[in-house]
Amino acid sequence: MPAPVQLDCQDGVLTVTLNRPESGNGLDFETGKAMLAAVADGAADQRVRAVVLQGSGGFFCSGDDLDSLRRYADGDVAAAPASADTADAFYVRLCEEIVLAPKPVLAAVNGVAIGPGTEIACAADLRIGGPGSRIGCGLIRVGHVGIGAMLRRVVGPARATEIFLSGRLVGADEAHRIGLLDRLVPEDGQVVDEAQRLARDLAHGPTKAIALYKELRERSVEQPVLSALRMQDRFHRRSHAEVADSGEGLSALLQGRKPHFTGH
């Protein structure tokens, strides 16, 4: 049986593929655990300078695995896609790892993203989709709550509320229009290629500066504007002191040449 999560690392880009198309790439215990480990390890690996998350078989991630949910409902607590030690849902910890990763993380939404799949996609720094991309959540239909954290950050509280209350899947054109997809390619077969192209470009960029930007982004969220501006200035000064690539970037600009970034 093929592994539920497949890994490939080339040219500084780690590709993490959910590979359970028969279940819509739903998250069971093993899959959630493997996804979390893959992203956490990739975030810590100095050879990895960008990460792409994708799914196989026309699905990005359809949320929690239905068979696991049935077993959980029948009393099999260990079937839940959550840590046996802390009971934290794997997708929650995965979102945390994506947000905190000191490198760009892209979601190739090549198909359907539902519930936890939507939150994982929204945790990514960039989302790429095609005509077949569908994003949303049906938890309201079964009286459960979710997608109130990461989706809200991407589309705002009002749109996130409407998407949750309707229980609908947002189509590709609307998703692109409201910022739920950053890039929309003409054909579904181009989604992964475009994500890989963007990831390679970012992997060859000043990834230490990207890490600092992500830290600034998280720390300045919902700060008063004056505090956020002062924090931004401190981080700019940190980039001078901590990002070796900043010197190369300035030199290249002044010399009229293309910079060669090392990610340090």
Percentage of the chain exceeding pLDDT 70:
98
| pLDDT level of residue 168 (50, 70, 90 thresholds) | very high
Domain spanning 5-203, CATH class: alpha beta
Hey, where are the domains in the chain?
5-203, 207-255
Question: What pLDDT does residue 156 have?
Answer: 95
Percentage of the chain exceeding pLDDT 90: 83
pLDDT reading at 76 higher than 90 = no
Structure confidence by residue, pLDDT tens digits, 113-134: 999 999 999 999 999 999 999 9
Residue 80 clears pLDDT 80, i.e. is over it: no
Q: Interhelix angle for 191-203 vs 207-220, to 10°?
A: 100
The yes-or-no verdict on residue 186 having pLDDT over 90 is: yes
Who wins on pLDDT, 250 or 78?
250
